[in-house]
Amino acid sequence: MLSPHSHMKIRVMPKTTESIRNLCKSTLYLFLTFVSPFILYRCIRFLSMYSSSSTSAPKTDAEILRRKRIEKSKLYFDITTPKVPIIYSSYYDIRFFGIEKLHPFDSSKWDRIRGFLISEGHLDKNSIVEPFEASTDDLLVVHTEAYLNSLNNSVNVAMITEVPPLAILPNWLVRMKVLSPFRRQVGGTILAAKLAKEQGWAINVGGGFHHCSSGRGGGFCAYADISLCIHFAFFRFTISRVMIIDLDAHQGNGHEMDFAGDGRVYILDMYNPDIYPFDLTARNYIKQKVEVATGTTTDGYLKELDKALRVARDNFAPELIIYNAGTDILDGDPLGGLKISPDGVAQRDEKVFRFARERNIPLVMVTSGGYMKTSARVVADSIINLSRKRLIDLSPRYGRR
Ligand SMILES: [Zn+2]
């Protein structure tokens, strides 16, 4: 039998169930009102993350491709006979039925540097290391396909090299006589990092095309040899700190654009701001900017350099130094605007080699700009001075087994 309390219970139960149901409903509404935007937000974030990871996927693919290209490259090869880490090839020189003489650049300076060192008994001709020519795959480690394709047009090559007559020549001839020598010099700069790692230093008697970046050439620079050299070194030596010391008279806007915002590369650029390329965007990416005005003479220049090297020493500890040693800082150079004596150039090079030697950092030197007939003599004298000061050894020991 049911007690009165039991009866009450029976009457109360439906009410309780209803109120629970109502509570559930309102909780669900509340949940949907407050939580669904959150879920929606999470969904959108997930989708946006997914889409951003899809857009970053090509970047990763590009990095994988870059590594594969470097692995496949023939530019790093082992030296098995006695050599000196001085790199040169007779293919460096641009001989074009005299057309090359229309450019103020002495396009046989590389051969003349080698000639002075050998004829005066400082270097054995068989001890020079001859590099391979950089292949299209090697160049794609840094360059875009679109840029390399643009070189199939002689007009573009004429603009980059600043030799207008090239514009009317068939492209195969331009490739053979102009681009191929440049590619050989690129092969030399890339190989120089390997030799410098093994031997402490290396000089490419060419290269230093510091106005060219991955997608743009200019100022006689068709390929970005410095950027290429650094990317090969990053991968082959698993290093992550490289210093570029750019002492050519012109600003090195090519490598500056290529390593814009890249903390692995420290750029010390000492240049005349009153001359080409006036690249204000690239100037933002110079870690240490030293501007030397038109008319600066040897003493003032070398004091600025001492100061700059002290600052660089305190700011960054590189595992490799790329030294862009243009000689267009020479007094009388028609483009550089500076008044540095030949002896001043030798002292400049000595300071940079000492900077590297004191801290045991491998150093790659490239010869870059230098537009007078006397430039070759000045570069050769500077190399002889480095040897006399025992900062480099020109006797062919390297590679002896
Ligand atoms: Zn220059």
Interval 39-84: pLDDT, tens: 444 444 334 333 333 334 456 888 999 999 999 999 999 999 999 9
The alpha carbon of 338 and the centre of ligand 1 are apart by a number of angstroms equal to 11
Note whether 160 and 46 are same-domain residues.
Answer: no
If pLDDT is split at 50, 70 and 90, which confidence band does 105 have?
low
Note whether 1 and 149 are same-domain residues.
Answer: no
pTM, two decimals, is 0.84
Give pLDDT tens digits for 297-351: 999 999 999 999 999 999 999 999 999 999 999 999 999 999 999 999 999 999 9
Distance CA 195, CA 35 (A): 63
What is the helix (H) or strand (E) element at residue 244, kind and residue range? strand 242-246
Structural domain that includes position 11 = 1-58
Q: How far apart are the first and last CA of the chain?
A: 112
Residue 374 lies in a domain: yes
Note whether 321 and 212 are same-domain residues.
Answer: yes
The alpha carbon of 210 and the centre of ligand 1 are apart by a number of angstroms equal to 8
Note whether 49 and 88 are same-domain residues.
Answer: no
Give the tokens for residue 57: 């996927």
The alpha carbon of 112 and the centre of ligand 1 are apart by a number of angstroms equal to 19
Note whether 29 and 95 are same-domain residues.
Answer: no
The alpha carbon of 315 and the centre of ligand 1 are apart by a number of angstroms equal to 26
The alpha carbon of 252 and the centre of ligand 1 are apart by a number of angstroms equal to 8
The alpha carbon of 77 and the centre of ligand 1 are apart by a number of angstroms equal to 30
| Structural domain count of the chain | 2
Catalytic residue among 103, 143, 210, 211: 211
**Residues measured by CB to lie within 5 Å of ligand 1, the ion:** 248-250, 326, 328, 369
Decide if 103 is catalytic.
no
Q: Which CA distances in Å does 311 have to 268, 286, 306, 352, 372?
A: 10, 14, 9, 13, 32
What is the CATH classification number for the domain harbouring 347? 3.40.800.20
Note whether 37 and 84 are same-domain residues.
Answer: no
| Number of neighbouring beta carbons within 10 Å of residue 146 | 8
Distance CA 198, CA 141 (A): 23
Give pLDDT tens digits for 157-174: 999 988 888 899 999 999
Note whether 9 and 79 are same-domain residues.
Answer: no
Residue 1 lies in a domain: yes
Residue 16 lies in a domain: yes
Note whether 290 and 342 are same-domain residues.
Answer: yes
Note whether 13 and 113 are same-domain residues.
Answer: no
Higher pLDDT, 159 or 33: 159
The alpha carbon of 122 and the centre of ligand 1 are apart by a number of angstroms equal to 27
Note whether 82 and 22 are same-domain residues.
Answer: no
Residue 64 lies in a domain: no
Note whether 133 and 18 are same-domain residues.
Answer: no
